[in-house]
A and B are shown apart, each in its own frame.
Chain A
């Protein structure tokens, strides 16, 4: 299904005009283009409202509200620091272990919550999907948007920790937005794919937490990449999070970056996201019938 012209404001303001600006053609889809950007843009306000709803609802009736965004990774980082840094003495490559963990945990928490909430978003919004039309892609997008706001807030703590440890800020900090963008893209790709499958196969809801847990430990969150044996490294780098999380650390802590590993991550992220868009496009037609 596609709209030849989206409901833009121009169409709206002169609706009594002689020419009818909006034509919607409904027929079985066969388009090869996975996303109708023009239409998405026309619905940007709805995206904004959905993100806003997500945040509002999440922190309503919680006493600490958005403070949870900061407390969650802080508590986890402290636990990891005590058990893995102090007791298990995992090497942290010259940086304080708390800083190492935290600079990995903050992007990881964003990624994992974004994937889980966007993965469950289509099923969770079935009451909307079966009752009203809007581009279905908005649903996983909005879920990620909400987590992105959390992510931004949790950066305050990162900044605080960096001050505390007197981290030397270098030019690499300028690359941070790139990694935020890449991580968001990856979360969007994985989340969208998951959301589409989840609409049809509820196994995904059950599998998702397990996959996320495993993913955390096969990514350099609570340990530095260096402890992975070199002969495993090539295989290990196929996990796109490796390059992205390391990229975050490199930007924040001004450390050397493994560029080939990053390029692999970027390539996998892009391929995965395009694939996810195709799968979503193919499956979204039946969402209202199966969800």
Chain B
């Protein structure tokens, strides 16, 4: 047995919830001190009932050179685990040992400054990620070539297109050379070609003998990149083993929400910003809220949101993903993408609670699980509120396409298409009959 390069023992992290405990109000802090002048530690009794364990007694080892995927539903503690391992936040208890230089990629473009040029940002971002200046200089040309931005090297990045920005940011990060690389969801950005390039680069990194922890919602890329995976659920490790088994578990136990409905009852804690927040995302089929859909029935995806900025020009959008997180389709209520008409699209919305409903036709999806990301935008392009994996549902075969053939249908969609056969020639049939 080799010595593990990452050794995590009973790691726990507690967060305190609510607005009072992490008060940003000095007066309250003073008042608390006055009420209990001798209590110097933050009052344990009062806050413990608001405490939430983001991670609880997590233990695992990683051998050098392993590429480990971390999957799990939102809020399970994946990102917290990565944040602790990359030393951004401290564990509440427990211990982790990392034998080697750690590079963490929790976000593409950390430390980029919009006013600085591409060249300057390469150095700044490299330094922030822990590279030495000589290292950056040595790899500078490679980085520029990978990012394909050589013509814009001396342009401030605030004038870059978002694609160029992403390419440059990933290029710097990809040339980081630590023994341990922690990656969180960075592939969720950019176009398909760029994503493929990033995945390719990640593959090289993995093959180069580096140890990688890779958090992702995209189960397909976890499957291709990682031999081993951890399923994190409710702050603990639910399952640890070969990726295919772990992901099978994840998909089958329905670690993604099963209810077909997710509601954020109070505005403050809902996804979004102070202007627009989600209120609910819901699957409605055959007249009721459900996570199980009959393949022969329409599926209505309802996105409810609050608007607190009168006059906002709002557009609603959904992503439909398959069970592995690969995109099936995206859709919005804009007129050119809508077969009916939505009069609210891009019109000024008075303050209030709104619901947008998208109807997916019956006999269109295949059997199996699907997941929904809900997004509310303003001015066609600015994302105001977004919930990934907001709801999930399972499409069930009820016999509509089982009359002649009982097996499975290939693909993520299974629409009924128009088929017509024609006889083109008459000659050969006589010959075959004659042979009989």
Contacts and interface: CB of A to CB of B under 8 A. Distances in A.
B89 A288 contact: yes
Interface string A130-141: 111110000000
Contacts of A28: 90-93
Interface residues of B, number: 50
17 contacts: A12-B101, A15-B100, A24-B87, A26-B90, A26-B95, A27-B94, A28-B92, A49-B123, A49-B128, A53-B113, A53-B120, A57-B116, A60-B156, A134-B130, A203-B25, A286-B89, A288-B88
A132 B83 contact: no
Contacts of B104: 132-133
Interface of B: 5, 15, 22-27, 29, 83-102, 104, 106-107, 110-111, 113, 115-116, 120, 123-124, 127-130, 132-133, 135, 156, 177, 179
A31 interface: no
A45 B26 contact: no
A213 interface: no
Contacts of B96: 25-27
Contacts of A286: 89-90
B95 to A, nearest CB: 4
A58 to B, nearest CB: 9
Q: Which 8 A-B pairs have the closest CB atoms?
A: A133-B87, A49-B127, A203-B26, A26-B96, A131-B110, A24-B98, A288-B89, A285-B90
Contact of B132 (A12, A23, A201): A12
B99 A22 contact: yes
Contacts of B92: 28
Contacts of A57: 113, 115-116
A20 interface: yes
B116 A45 contact: no
A24 B97 contact: yes
Nearest to A207: B26
Given A132-B129, A133-B87, A23 B97 contact: yes
B101 A15 contact: yes
Contacts of A25: 95-98
Nearest to A27: B95
Contacts of A60: 115-116, 156
Given A26-B87, A49-B127, A289-B15, A20 B100 contact: yes
Contacts of A24: 87, 97-99, 102
Contacts, number: 126
A145 to B, nearest CB: 14
Interface of A: 1, 7, 9, 11-12, 15, 20, 22-29, 45-46, 49, 53, 56-57, 60-61, 127-134, 200-204, 285-286, 288-290
Contacts of B93: 28
A200 B23 CA distance: 7
Contacts of A9: 132
A127 B124 CA distance: 14
Contacts of A289: 15, 22, 89
Nearest to B85: A26
A288 B82 CA distance: 13
A200 B24 contact: yes
Given A7-B130, A24-B98, A25-B95, A132 B24 contact: no
A141 to B, nearest CB: 14
A204 B24 CA distance: 10
Nearest to B156: A60
A200 B95 CA distance: 26
A6 to B, nearest CB: 10
B22 A129 contact: no
B100 A29 contact: no
Contacts of A1: 87, 90
B322 to A, nearest CB: 30
B140 to A, nearest CB: 15
